[in-house]
């Protein structure tokens, strides 16, 4: 490894994603005329402005580090199935940590910005995605691009330490990174999205306002009840795991692209005293979250997880069948487009090395409509039933309003 090109070592909260070679695809569906040359110019400007996109990962005697790369991020255009936004894309974190894959079918296209998870979470990546479409619009309209070059984003550990937030226990000793040959092959997960109408989204927001339940809590309650039904388990047996965007909850706040993964991790269980309906469960989730933010445990959660000895970590593979995992991307930033092109939707995609392939959900709000992505291993026979159960429970909730 050439030390001159090394940017910095990855922190534990970043390294875990590099060891899995986790790429997340932020996929926008576009309808109308898409200019490949203009999009290429826009992406080139964006990855020059955000140097993490054109860095690479090295795993060696010095551990896991980010270093400069001689290779440019891949930009690929192809005809194909827009439901498979990562199809045909060859991404390698040892060359580049981002890529742009465009799959077209007539006037419809899936434009997928793939970013290695160690350098950007969803809130970071969707901010970059919004910048990409602004640049594209300017190029099409003949407006010169002049993006400032941003500094390399900082780790969660550094941002918290700067604000006086530390783990409750000393950090656990570092363990050697596994050799790449010992990892399983990368898996691309198909994603099926259930998208609410604008009217349904508004109705749920109004329900949450009346009942003092956040949209995240309300939808989490619906999903937990649907998962209990599908798995034929009582809700009290499920373990709900979700992440919290900490940027606006720190003092001073952190900008969208100033940190890599600025997240807290929360676990929740439905107790016997909580009624089995979405509002009651959602309210309990919100109460627990507010308490955790008030006492600092949510802010410290990732630090505490990595500070425990391996035997004391909360993840137990024997509990895998009881875990429900939900990522909330929140409200996606506005995206500009030129005349003749319309962005109709946004959904997730992923490619990573997994030893234990579990299903999970991604929630986001795009153009005033909530989308719930179901990402399960390909061929999982439970997916159609999951989608139908979720659709029915959401329909029942909005129908009764």
Q: Looking at the predicted structure, is the pLDDT value of residue 401 above 70?
A: no
Residue 336 belongs to a domain: no
Q: Looking at the predicted structure, is the pLDDT value of residue 181 above 70?
A: no
Work out the average pLDDT over 37-66: 94
- Please check whether residues 133 and 208 belong to one and the same domain: no
Work out the average pLDDT over 56-69: 90
- Please check whether residues 220 and 299 belong to one and the same domain: yes
* Distance between CA atoms of residues 18 and 57, nearest Å: 7
Residue 342 belongs to a domain: no
Q: Looking at the predicted structure, is the pLDDT value of residue 294 above 50?
A: yes
Query: Are the CB atoms for 266 and 298 separated by under 8 Å?
Result: yes
Q: Could you tell me the pLDDT band of residue 318, with boundaries at 50, 70 and 90?
A: low
What is the pTM (predicted TM-score) of this model?
0.93
In this prediction, what percent of the chain has a pLDDT beyond 70?
92
Q: How many domains does the chain have?
A: 2
pLDDT in tens, 91-129: 999 999 999 999 999 999 999 999 999 999 999 999 999
pLDDT in tens, 66-91: 999 999 999 999 999 999 999 999 99
DSSP secondary-structure letter at 374?
E
Residue 26 belongs to a domain: yes
21-31 core/surface letters (b: 16 or more CB in 10 A; e: else):
bbbbbbbbbbe
Work out the average pLDDT over 191-209: 95
pLDDT in tens, 29-45: 999 999 999 999 999 99
pLDDT of residue 379: 87
- Please check whether residues 33 and 146 belong to one and the same domain: yes
- Please check whether residues 172 and 210 belong to one and the same domain: no
Beta bridge partner(s), residue 326: 242, 361
pLDDT of residue 2: 47
Q: Could you tell me the pLDDT band of residue 230, with boundaries at 50, 70 and 90?
A: very high
Three-state SS annotation for 307-358? HCCHHHCCCCHHHHHHEEEEEEEEECCCCCCCCCEEEEEEEEEEEEECCCCC
Residue 348 belongs to a domain: no
Residue 351 belongs to a domain: no
Tell me, what CATH number does 271's domain have?
3.30.559.30
Q: Give the domain-ending residue among 150, 182, 214.
A: 182
Q: Looking at the predicted structure, is the pLDDT value of residue 5 above 90?
A: no
Residue 344 belongs to a domain: no
- Please check whether residues 194 and 233 belong to one and the same domain: yes
Q: Looking at the predicted structure, is the pLDDT value of residue 314 above 60?
A: no
pLDDT of residue 212: 95
- Please check whether residues 171 and 290 belong to one and the same domain: no
- Please check whether residues 192 and 174 belong to one and the same domain: no
- Please check whether residues 173 and 191 belong to one and the same domain: no
Q: Give the domain-ending residue among 182, 209, 230.
A: 182
Q: Looking at the predicted structure, is the pLDDT value of residue 60 above 90?
A: no
| DSSP conformation letters of 20-84 | TT-EEEEEEEEEE---HHHHHHHHHHHHHHSGGGGEEEEEETTEEEEEE-SSPPEEEEEES-TT-
Under 8 Å CB-to-CB from 220, ≥6 apart: which residues?
240, 242, 268, 281, 282, 285, 326
- Please check whether residues 34 and 83 belong to one and the same domain: yes
Beta bridge partner(s), residue 371: 195, 364
Residue 347 belongs to a domain: no
Work out the average pLDDT over 224-241: 96
Q: Looking at the predicted structure, is the pLDDT value of residue 276 above 90?
A: yes
Q: Give the domain-ending residue among 165, 182, 199.
A: 182
Work out the average pLDDT over 173-197: 75
pLDDT of residue 316: 56
pLDDT of residue 23: 97
- Please check whether residues 306 and 199 belong to one and the same domain: yes
| Residues of the domain holding 304 | 187-331+357-399
* Distance between CA atoms of residues 386 and 365, nearest Å: 20
CA dist 66 to 14, 71, 183, 368, Å?
10, 14, 20, 37
Work out the average pLDDT over 279-293: 98
pLDDT of residue 183: 67
Other beta carbons within 10 angstroms of residue 5's beta carbon come to 15
Other beta carbons within 10 angstroms of residue 264's beta carbon come to 23
pLDDT of residue 313: 46
* Distance between CA atoms of residues 27 and 86, nearest Å: 9
- Please check whether residues 211 and 162 belong to one and the same domain: no
Residue 275 belongs to a domain: yes
Q: Looking at the predicted structure, is the pLDDT value of residue 1 above 50?
A: no
pLDDT of residue 157: 98
pLDDT in tens, 134-159: 999 999 999 999 999 999 999 999 99
- Please check whether residues 321 and 286 belong to one and the same domain: yes
pLDDT of residue 399: 76
Task: State the chain's mean pLDDT as an integer.
Answer: 92
Other beta carbons within 10 angstroms of residue 265's beta carbon come to 15
* Distance between CA atoms of residues 67 and 114, nearest Å: 19
The residue among 318 and 341 whose pLDDT is bigger is: 341
* Distance between CA atoms of residues 234 and 279, nearest Å: 17
Tell me, what CATH number does 99's domain have?
3.30.559.10
- Cis ω before 29 (30° cut-off from 0): no
């Amino acid at each position: 490894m050439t030390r001159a090109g090394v940017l910095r070592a990855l922190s534990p909260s970043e390294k875990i994603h590099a060891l899995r070679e986790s790429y997340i695809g932020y996929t926008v569906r576009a309808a109308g005329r898409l200019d490949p040359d203009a999009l290429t110019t826009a992406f080139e400007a964006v990855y020059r402005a955000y140097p993490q996109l054109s860095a690479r990962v090295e795993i060696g005697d010095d551990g896991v580090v980010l270093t400069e790369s001689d290779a440019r991020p891949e930009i690929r255009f192809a005809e194909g199935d827009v439901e498979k936004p990562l199809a045909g894309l060859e991404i390698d974190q040892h060359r580049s940590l981002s890529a742009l894959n465009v799959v077209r079918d007539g006037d419809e296209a899936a434009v997928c910005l793939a970013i290695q998870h160690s350098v950007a979470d969803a809130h970071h990546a969707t901010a970059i995605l919004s910048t990409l479409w602004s640049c594209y619009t300017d190029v099409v309209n003949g407006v010169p691009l002049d993006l400032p070059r941003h500094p390399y984003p900082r780790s969660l550990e550094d941002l918290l330490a700067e604000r006086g937030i530390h783990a409750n226990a000393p950090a656990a000793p570092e363990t050697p990174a596994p050799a790449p040959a010992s990892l399983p092959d990368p898996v691309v997960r198909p994603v099926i999205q259930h998208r609410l109408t604008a009217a349904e989204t508004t109705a749920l927001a109004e329900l949450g306002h009346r009942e003092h339940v956040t949209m995240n809590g309300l939808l989490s309650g619906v999903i937990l009840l649907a998962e209990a039904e599908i798995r034929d388990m009582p809700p009290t047996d499920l373990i709900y795991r979700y992440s919290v965007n900490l940027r606006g909850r720190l003092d001073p706040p952190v900008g969208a692209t100033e940190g890599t993964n600025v997240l807290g991790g929360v676990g929740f269980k439905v107790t016997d005293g909580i009624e089995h309906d979405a509002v009651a469960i959602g309210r309990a989730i919100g109460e627990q979250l507010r308490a955790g933010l008030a006492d600092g445990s949510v802010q410290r959660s990732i630090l505490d997880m990595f500070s425990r000895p391996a035997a004391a970590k909360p993840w137990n593979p024997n509990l895998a069948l009881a875990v429900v995992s939900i990522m909330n991307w929140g409200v996606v930033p506005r995206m500009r487009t030129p005349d003749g092109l319309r962005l109709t939707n946004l959904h997730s995609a992923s490619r990573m090395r997994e030893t234990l392939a579990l299903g999970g959900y991604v929630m986001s709000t795009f153009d005033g409509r909530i989308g719930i992505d179901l990402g399960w291993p390909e061929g999982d026979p439970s997916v159609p039933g999951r989608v139908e159960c979720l659709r029915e429970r959401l329909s029942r909730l909005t129908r009764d309003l």
